[in-house]
A and B are shown apart, each in its own frame.
Chain A
Amino acid sequence: MRVIGMIDQIRMRRDRRNLLALLAPGMLWLLAFFALPLVIILLYSILTNGPRGAIVWQPTLENYRTLFTQTIYVNAYLRSIRISLETTLICLLLGYPLALFIVRQPAHWRTLLIFLVLIPFWTNFLVRIYAWQIILANNGLINGGLTALGLTPLALLNTEGATLLGLVYGELPFMVLPLYAALARFDFTQLEAAADLGANRWQAFWRVMVPQTMPGIVAGSVLVFIPTLGQFVVAELLGGAKVDYLGNLIQRLFLRSNPINWPLGSALAVIMMVILLALIFWYFRVTREDER
């Protein structure tokens, strides 16, 4: 082993140039087309919006002041955070038992079952959300059934309930995959040990299984919460764009001409980034504590 280690070390020194050749292209791409754009919106967020959406190079904190004082924006955060939390919680309630079920199956079934969760994850989000329109529309599948039974049709589409449904549907795979990974590492004989020590099933679940799968729970929650916070498609297609979420505001401030305001939109995007970084930081703290 030591000889191989030495050979590795010699090769490492010789291969400095190779390392640079491997790293540089990808890193430069990510720096130029991922990191730099983020720095630019950070910059835009402290500039002034001029007439007809022109950027005026005059530093200001006005954008952030607007975002924290005007009710339309404050309400949009609160609404976004609320629906993102609801989505995360429902995904957890649907995803944990599902992941638990998959982990307890024989190996060859497990691969297939997790693959079935993976498929929607890789198929077009927009199309899958659109499919719910067919089910929920006023003349759609559910209401068609209700009418056939002689019942009054319900207003299902263009409600907040429909938005929540669509978000849960879209994000569920992001919850199941980390939960599955965490549960696959869990040693189920510990539950028997807990039972031997007098714990009932509920106590064994809460005091043994949940704490030990916490990294998966946190990872899944972060992975569901973050994209939900920035969504605007579901709110438009299923919620009928009746109320504003953060994503809808950003989209409008950047793309729709009335009122176009890139500095304000940038400030919103920056706030979203800050929330993301805080959550990632929290995730690493939780997982590191677990390893100790």
Chain B
Amino acid sequence: MIQRKPARWLSQALRSYAILVYAFLYLPIVVLVIFSFTRDEFGVRWTGFTLDWYIRLFNNPRLMGAAVNTLIVGVASTLVATLLGTLLALALERYRFRGRGAVDGLLYLPIVMPEIVMAVALLACSALAFDLINALTGHVLRRNLVTVTIGHIAFSISFVTVVVRASLKHFDRRLEEAAADLGANSWQIFWRITFPLILPGVIGGALLAFTLSLDDFIISLFLSGPGTSLLPVEVYNRVRRAITPEINAISTLMLLLSITLVVLSQLAQRRR
């Protein structure tokens, strides 16, 4: 009994500390949501409830255009990254081959690389490629949604692969062998057995890739061209000038969307 008492004191302290850290993590998010409904035109004081800022948002063609661009890039990059990432996951989980370590390394590097390095590298690469195309064919190319999408795919593939690999780890290979014994060919085995079983992982990976694309700011800033602005870049340009309740409102919507997507992704991966 004497020994246990300080332990309880310690775990109480730990609990209080944890609550404070959680409060720290969520305070700004809560504040942001609350102040998207304030009447105060500076967006930093509570002077009454209004939905005006949300209405104004939907009537702002520039922001809405940026939102549409963001969705287009998100969907396109998710489709490609999910396909390529899933194929890589299958290769890495199913096969032992020479150079597997190198493939692994190349795959994990984009996750840890500072995003600004990746962004300037892609910017330099695109400039060089455009110059080359111009010299060879005379076409003048500009950075647009395609260049942004290419960049988003490059960093999303790794995340998809990680998620799909996790779902392949628990995969029972005997199911495929049983199907083969029963006369199924490899195409049938893949679509009838393998794919349905890894589908939760693939959906989880796809939702994360989509979230990453919607949230990405740095690569979008460096790779989008004139007139093809994306939502986070648009928010950045406004935020640098001043706080406005309109920005609070669009930020709240962006937060809400990512949180929904992460919850969905977790649920998809849980259902196994």
Q: Are A269 and B215 in contact (CB under 8 A)?
A: no
CB 8 Å contact bits of A77-108 with B (1 = contact, 0 = none): 00000000000000000110110111010000
Is A179 part of the binding interface, using a Cβ–Cβ cutoff of 8 Å? no
A contact face: mostly helix, strand, loop, or mixed = helix
Interface centre among A230, A250, A280 (most CB of B within 10 A): A230
Q: How far is the CB of A289 from chain B (nearest CB, A)?
A: 19
- Whether A141 pairs with B31 at a CB distance below 8 angstroms is yes
- Given the complex of chains A and B, what is the CA–CA distance between A257 and B35 in angstroms? 36
A278 beta carbon closer than 8 Å to chain B: no
Inside 8 A of A272's CB, which chain B residues have their CB? 114, 116-117
The reply to whether A127 and B254 form a contact with Cβ atoms under 8 Å apart is: yes
Stretch at the interface among B52-60, B120-128, B133-141, B194-202: B120-128
Q: Please measure, in the bound complex, the distance between the C-alpha atom of A141 and the C-alpha atom of B151, giving whole angstroms.
A: 38
> A28: nearest residue on chain B (CB-CB)?
B84
What are 11 A-B contacts defined by CB distance under 8 Å? A7-B177, A23-B88, A30-B157, A34-B121, A34-B155, A122-B258, A124-B258, A128-B32, A134-B31, A265-B120, A280-B112
Contact of B114 among A172, A255, A276, A280 (CB under 8 A): A276
Q: How far is the CA of A250 from the CA of B22 in the complex (A)?
A: 34
Q: Tell whether A26 is near chain B: CB-to-CB under 8 Å.
A: yes
Q: Hey, which chain A residues are within 8 Å of B151, CB to CB?
A: 33
A226 touching B125, Cβ below 8 Å? no
Q: Does A169 contact B (CB under 8 A)?
A: yes
If the complex has contacts A125-B215, A126-B236, A237-B240, are A140 and B116 also in contact, measured as CB distance less than 8 A? Answer: no
With A34-B109, A37-B121, A133-B239 as given contacts, are A139 and B44 in contact (CB-CB < 8 Å)?
Answer: yes
Q: Which residue of A lies closest to B233 (CB)?
A: A126
By a CB distance below 8 angstroms, the chain B residues around A116 are 22, 25-26
Known: A132-B28, A266-B124. 10 other contacts (CB 8 A): A19-B97, A25-B83, A26-B161, A33-B150, A98-B18, A98-B21, A137-B44, A141-B31, A250-B120, A272-B117
CB-CB under 8 A from B116, the residues of chain A are: 230-232, 247, 250-251, 269, 272
A248's nearest neighbour on chain B, judged by CB, is: B116
- Contact across chains for A134 and B239 when beta carbons are under 8 A apart: no
A172 contacts B88, CB within 8 Å? Answer: no
Asked if B43 is at the interface of the complex by the 8 Å CB criterion, the answer is yes
- Flag whether B153 is at the interface (Cβ < 8 A): yes
- The 0/1 profile, CB within 8 Å of B marked 1, for residues 163-176 of chain A is 00000010011000
Interface residues of A toward B: which range? 35 or more
**CB proximity of A216 to chain B, nearest CB, Å:** 16
How many angstroms from the CA of A126 to the CA of B220 in the assembled complex? 12
Is A227 in contact with chain B by the CB < 8 A criterion?
Answer: yes
Q: Does A229 contact B (CB under 8 A)?
A: yes
| A interface residues, Cβ below 8 angstroms from B | 4, 7, 12, 15, 18-19, 21-23, 25-27, 29-31, 33-38, 40-41, 44, 94-95, 97-98, 100-102, 104, 115-120, 122-128, 130-135, 137, 139-141, 144, 169, 172-173, 201, 222-223, 226-227, 229-233, 236-237, 247, 250-251, 254-255, 262, 265-266, 269, 272-273, 276, 280
Complex-state Cα separation, A25 to B85, whole angstroms: 9
> Does B167 make an interface contact (CB < 8 A)?
no
* A119–B26 CA distance with the chains assembled, in angstroms: 10
Query: Residue B75 at the A interface, CB < 8 A?
Result: no
**What A residues does B259 contact at CB under 8 A?**
119, 122-123
Report yes or no: B84 in contact with A26, Cβ–Cβ below 8 A.
Answer: yes
When the two chains form their complex, are residues A27 and B266 in contact, meaning their CB atoms are under 8 A apart?
Answer: no
The answer to whether A37 and B91 touch (CB under 8 A), given A29-B84, A273-B117, is no
Interfacial chain A residues near B71, Cβ < 8 Å: none
Assess the B258–A123 pair: CB atoms within 8 A.
Answer: yes
Cβ contact within 8 Å between B255 and A135 = no
Cross-interface CB contact of A38 among B21, B121, B128, B161, cutoff 8 Å: B121
B11 within 8 A of A: yes
- Residue from the list B32, B118, B262 in contact with A134, Cβ < 8 A: B32
User: 6 tightest A-B contacts by CB?
Assistant: A230-B114, A131-B28, A37-B121, A37-B125, A22-B91, A26-B84
For residue A101, which residues in chain B have a CB less than 8 angstroms away from its CB?
14-15, 17-18
Contact residues in B for A122 (Cβ distance below 8 Å)? 208, 211-212, 215, 258-259, 261-262
Q: What is the CA–CA distance of A210 and B221 in the complex, to the nearest angstrom?
A: 41
B247 in the interface (beta carbon within 8 A): yes
